[in-house]
Structure 1
Amino acid sequence: MKAEERWQARFRAPRVTLPTWARQAPHRAVYRGNASGAWEIYAWDRSSGQIRQVTDRAHGTRYGAIDPAGRWIWWFGDTDCDTDCHTDGHNTDRHTHGGTARDGRGDGYGVWSRQPFHGGPDEPLAIPPGHPCGLALASDGAAAVGRSSRDGFEILLARPGSEPVTVYRHDEYAAVADMSLDGSLIAVNHSEHGDALHPAVRVVRADGSTVAELNDGPGRGVTGCRFAPVPGDRRLLVLHERRGRREPLVWDPVTGEQREIWLRVRGEISADWYDDGRALLIIHSQRGRTELLRYDLAGGGLTPIQSPHGVIEAAAPRPDGTVEYAWSSAAHPPVVRSSNGHVVFSPGRTPPPSVPLEDIDVEGPGGRIHALVSRPERVAAPYPTVFLLRSALPGFGGGTGGQDDDSFRPQVAAWVDSGFAVIRVNHRGSAGYGSAWRDALRGDIGHIELADVAAVRDWAVERRIADPDRLVLAGTAWGGYLTLLALGTQPKSWTAGIAAAPIADHAAAYEDEAECMRAVHRALLGGSPAEVPERYAASSPITYADMVEAPLLIITGADDRRCPARQVERYLRALAGHGREAAVYRYDADPGTPVVEERVRRMAASIDFAVRALGRA
């Protein structure tokens, strides 16, 4: 198979997410899959093996959930009017953290709908459209729905047969964390104190009255995760940062009792409940790999769960005590496995494998930097090298998207098949290396990350891994922003740049973006553009447009306001004003589109641009 055919086959191979099941009907499950050519929601009856495609939308569907009784499948459908509200998190059978499902041009502004498990008409939720900020479902059919708009953030409770009522509202960022199985308690992650990167958690009753609040103060986030999956159980699983990293605790908001889970493992920790509420599934992440452990609450025992070396994107315990998880590594394509050794679900043909990763550690200006190197086969070093910058917002959410890791990435494999080495840097701002590392860039975004990237670049050149005359900097969303900033502030360091859906002007982006993105901007830069204009200017690529020398490809969409198009157009005009010009690829869908063929087209355009740019260098 030719190189181009190999990398395109990876994008086109059918994939699925970890199926999530109804707590009270575990034979009913939902998952996302791309067999139709776009990522859509599917229903799976595990007892009969029957699979049904639930959604069929022009640009795919990002998020779905199933209620605890297994009666309803929920999904978010957007309209053609505004932008998306993105937060990191994991989908479960009873709740989905903010994110966006895409339709039309994929603007992320719309409402949740539900559909009977075995099919039937969609029932849109009767609330005003907004940007999604979480969904939680109870066993009696109640739904707690988070939404935002220019009017602020709102949590609504919708019960069958009743009009939705507002149980929480504030101008600062807030999202539904979860709802107790009986629907009596709702956990809300909020930033009323003005810091969306370090939330507090509040538990409210169905009438909106406050039960309790957990707030560890400035710089220490407390994030509500899940209520115990047992009827009448009030305990809420929470992640805190009291010892410089995210760790779990179990909190009873009625009595105020807290139990911190002390684990003698390095790295970052997240957790989920076992089905009986007597144990926790621990997901331990260190240096871009993950492992699973069981923590028994009664005796405090910690038991490893066997899994291959690599990355577990999602995991959940089944009622029988086994654990199912979605796993991959850089060399091995994704698969859904069980802790008993079986493959749970196979979407069809397996994509071609890729090369394994090499870990490197480089001394940087803020401490030791962990980076990952993928080397092309049958190519001699020093290699033409792509520094691929991560798309996730720094410090926001703390999920696996907040760091580069050993998971299977078709875009990385595509560059490697095309003869490039790929280097990914877990610079300051990355999750997985402690709270201080993640928070180090606040107030000076962009420049701190790029100082770490520069240190790894110099290391790779000195050791003749990377050819200094053939260095490409590339990234999407936040990675696209860093690419533009680097081309202006480090113009002699890079041969070419590829920036997809970038932030080019923070102040202009702030004017157009969704409220949750504004909240993150305020947290990262210490205020709004009106309050700290000098910080917004200092961190904006447009400020350094006159310094850009390298060939540049910008991938942008007219209706993508997560990285608003207007500020990208301003940057292009600034380049032109200084006698410089960028190549532009324009799209209709979002930068992380669920549509497979659009991802293939963008990848092909990026490789073609890089090859031509290096050929001219």
Structure 2
Amino acid sequence: MNAEPAASETASLPPEVTARWQARFRAPRVSLPDWALHAPQRSLYASDVSGVVEQYAWDRTTEAHRQVTDRPNGTLIGTLSPDGEDVWWFADTDGDEFGVWMVQPFAGGEDRVAVPEVGPAYPAGLEIGSSLVAIGRSTDDGSELWLAPAGGTARVVYRHADPASVDALTLDDELLVVSHSEHGDPRYPALRVLRTATTTEDAPDVVAEKWDGEGRGLHALEFAPLPGDRRLLVGHERRGREELLVWDVADGTETEIVLDLPGDVTAGWYPDGWALLVGHDHAARSELYRYDLATGTLERLDTPTGVVRGATARPDGTVELAWSSSERPPVIRRADGPVVLAAPGEEPPAAHPVEDRWVPGPGGDVHALVVRPAGPAPYATAFLVHGGPEAADDDSYRARRAAYVDAGYAVVHVNYRGSTGYGSAWRDALTGRPGLTELEDVAAVYDALVAEGFLDPGRAVLTGGSWGGFLTLLGLGTQPERWAAGIAEVPVADYLAAYEDEMEGLRAYDRALFGGSPEEVRDVYVRSSPITYVEAVAAPVLVVAGANDPRCPIRQIDNYLGRLQELGKPHEVYRFDAGHGSLVIEETIRQVETALSFALRHVRP
């Protein structure tokens, strides 16, 4: 089933507008470089300079850059061994996220399977030590955690039906931290510390455990980077937001780090082991701080207004970060200003500034971001709803957002209940009623913008990817009077079928979110499933689907499309041969071009 528009119906933009939005996608980008702990002159980064996202090795001493991976659908995940001798990268099949860890020498050479005993799976954490590697894997049977000593035989040290992952390894390889959800809710993991030399699957040598109870997750960030140091940096949410503590697993003591900052914080160690590089996220922006553990001094680092996607403190004390804003494209720079790494070629065109809106909603004030096109209001408006749901839209550079604005649409982002950055209660408010809860917040923002005169209620498009695609299809069926068109990319469309086909880690997440499995709470899944409301859909629908998607599998999308076909609902579908999105730039451009053409034909700006 593939309904294509007739040639006479195809809408297009002026060539100069098309060239501008496509240039934002085609301009090469680089990620924040990862560096080897004991060889900091050796770094690894991801780049799409070839047109596909791949891994690149960078020797900072010689300034030599080398492409490590070269695969048709790209390579997203990679890291370095602590000695800088090896590049580890994850090899899946055509974007399906199921595969094995591979190793290639930093200087170049043949690829090999890193640990042959560990079969293909979904990745669940990787920690590389000086003489030991810890690998997490997830399959439909649950989770396994493996230890692979150098020159020895790999062995399973943990196995459970519920999600678990490898989180942290001490500098001397003696202690391993794993997160687990044996209590039944992977959204709020517990931590277990194992002694690597003596632990086995049947007889785990447990050094310490920590769990904050129901509704409160713990996240192991990393051990202090000093010999013999047993201090573990941990994220917690005991006061309703993401905060920090230092847990000394040797003596069992912990120290909460209480910072007078709104919103969520995370952190990593400075290499000296006595300061933390703190990332602070609040209201769609982020900033960086240096926190001195001895004095309790918090010093803000000089970063412009916008979003920091990642940061790292180097051995010389300098901080490198990936930064962008809604107007300015991404840059890898030092906190004190100089550019650290830049992709070759011209930087992408500037984009459009976002404006903040705080709107009263049924669960509290909803934070939204809006972007104005040229010309007077009211505007034809595209609601770009984010995925996750545990994510947030922010003041960062977004080529897709800018493409809609270039085409003449206003853009609205809604950080609905379920979004991160607004506290634990806001993030968890959709539990038991997913989809419908978030759409109440979208509706509140919609109504406020109509009342403001910003939004033309007859020309509103609902669109998003992944969870945003799910909300799009659900919104078209439950709020048909609001939307003139819908564009759902890699969505959940039939939740019962999606649960049957998705990866086990997501099934566990769904059980926690919905209150059980479909066998236990079938009505809850049916109530939140877009296919339940397909008869009420009034707007034309475009669905973009990945053939190898393990998160929003293709069968459940075909079920929804089949119902649209049976009911005679106007719809189109674009299929691509990858997984939950594409790492191939030209393929991404084709998808955006398809979406814009669809929007222009049905909702004229």
Q: TM-score range by the shorter chain?
A: over 0.9
On the 8 A contact 1:500/1:591 being kept in 2, the answer is: no
Structure 1 position 180 matched with structure 2 position 164: no
Give the match for residue 425 of structure 1.
Answer: 414
Pick aligned residue for 2:233 from 225, 232, 237: 237
Mapped to 2, the partners of 1:231 and 1:56 lie a distance apart of 37
Q: CA deviation at 1:550?
A: 0.4
Mapped to 1, the partners of 2:355 and 2:546 lie a distance apart of 35
Pick aligned residue for 1:22 from 30, 36, 39: 36
Deviation digits for residues 89-148 of structure 1 (CA, Å, limit 9, x no counterpart):
xxxxxxxxxxxxxxxx221111001111111111212111111111111123x2111101
Give the match for residue 6 of structure 2.
Answer: none
Q: CA deviation at 1:75?
A: 0.3
Mapped to 2, the partners of 1:532 and 1:547 lie a distance apart of 24
Mapped to 2, the partners of 1:575 and 1:231 lie a distance apart of 62
Give the match for residue 501 of structure 1.
Answer: 490
Give percent identity, aligned residues only.
53
In the TM superposition, 1:271-310 aligns within 5 A as 271-310=267-306
Deviation digits for residues 517-576 of structure 1 (CA, Å, limit 9, x no counterpart):
111111110111111101110000011011100010001122223101111111112223
Q: CA deviation at 1:466?
A: 1.3
Pick aligned residue for 1:107 from 96, 108, 113: 96
- Secondary structure of the residue aligned to 1:570 is helix
TM-score by length of 2: 0.95
Amino acid at match of 2:28: P
Structure 1 position 224 matched with structure 2 position 220: yes
- Secondary structure of the residue aligned to 1:521 is helix
Mapped to 2, the partners of 1:582 and 1:385 lie a distance apart of 20
Mapped to 2, the partners of 1:599 and 1:276 lie a distance apart of 42
Deviation digits for residues 309-368 of structure 1 (CA, Å, limit 9, x no counterpart):
100000010111111000000000000110221111111220000111101110001000
* Residue range with higher mean Cα deviation, 574-583 or 67-76: 574-583
- Secondary structure of the residue aligned to 1:115 is strand
Give the match for residue 41 of structure 1.
Answer: 55
Deviation digits for residues 22-71 of structure 1 (CA, Å, limit 9, x no counterpart):
11111000000000111100000011100000000110001000111111
- Secondary structure of the residue aligned to 1:2 is helix
Give the match for residue 191 of structure 2.
Answer: 201
Amino acid at match of 1:450: L
Q: CA deviation at 1:255?
A: 1.4
Pick aligned residue for 2:120 from 124, 129, 154: 129
Mapped to 2, the partners of 1:295 and 1:168 lie a distance apart of 35
Mapped to 2, the partners of 1:282 and 1:588 lie a distance apart of 39
On the 8 A contact 2:224/2:232 being kept in 1, the answer is: yes
Give the match for residue 352 of structure 2.
Answer: 355
- Secondary structure of the residue aligned to 2:50 is coil
Mapped to 2, the partners of 1:50 and 1:560 lie a distance apart of 36
**Large movers: runs of 4+ above 6 Å:** none
Structure 1 position 370 matched with structure 2 position 367: yes
- Secondary structure of the residue aligned to 2:238 is coil
Q: CA deviation at 1:297?
A: 0.5
Q: CA deviation at 1:232?
A: 1.7
TM-score by length of 1: 0.93
Structure 1 position 462 matched with structure 2 position 448: no
- Secondary structure of the residue aligned to 2:176 is strand
In the TM superposition, 1:322-337 aligns within 5 A as 322-337=318-333
Mapped to 2, the partners of 1:594 and 1:580 lie a distance apart of 32
**Considering only aligned residues, what root-mean-square deviation do their CA atoms show, in Å?**
1.1
Amino acid at match of 2:67: Q
Deviation digits for residues 64-92 of structure 1 (CA, Å, limit 9, x no counterpart):
0011111111000013xxxxxxxxxxxxx
- Secondary structure of the residue aligned to 2:603 is helix
Amino acid at match of 1:435: S
Amino acid at match of 2:47: G
Q: CA deviation at 1:581?
A: 3.7
On the 8 A contact 1:477/1:500 being kept in 2, the answer is: yes
Mapped to 2, the partners of 1:561 and 1:265 lie a distance apart of 38
Pick aligned residue for 1:7 from 21, 27, 32: 21
In the TM superposition, 1:434-583 aligns within 5 A as 434-583=423-572
Mapped to 1, the partners of 2:297 and 2:274 lie a distance apart of 12
- Secondary structure of the residue aligned to 1:8 is helix
Mapped to 2, the partners of 1:559 and 1:303 lie a distance apart of 46
On the 8 A contact 2:540/2:569 being kept in 1, the answer is: no
Deviation digits for residues 169-199 of structure 1 (CA, Å, limit 9, x no counterpart):
1110111112112211111111111111111
Mapped to 1, the partners of 2:386 and 2:173 lie a distance apart of 38
Amino acid at match of 1:14: P
- Secondary structure of the residue aligned to 2:420 is coil
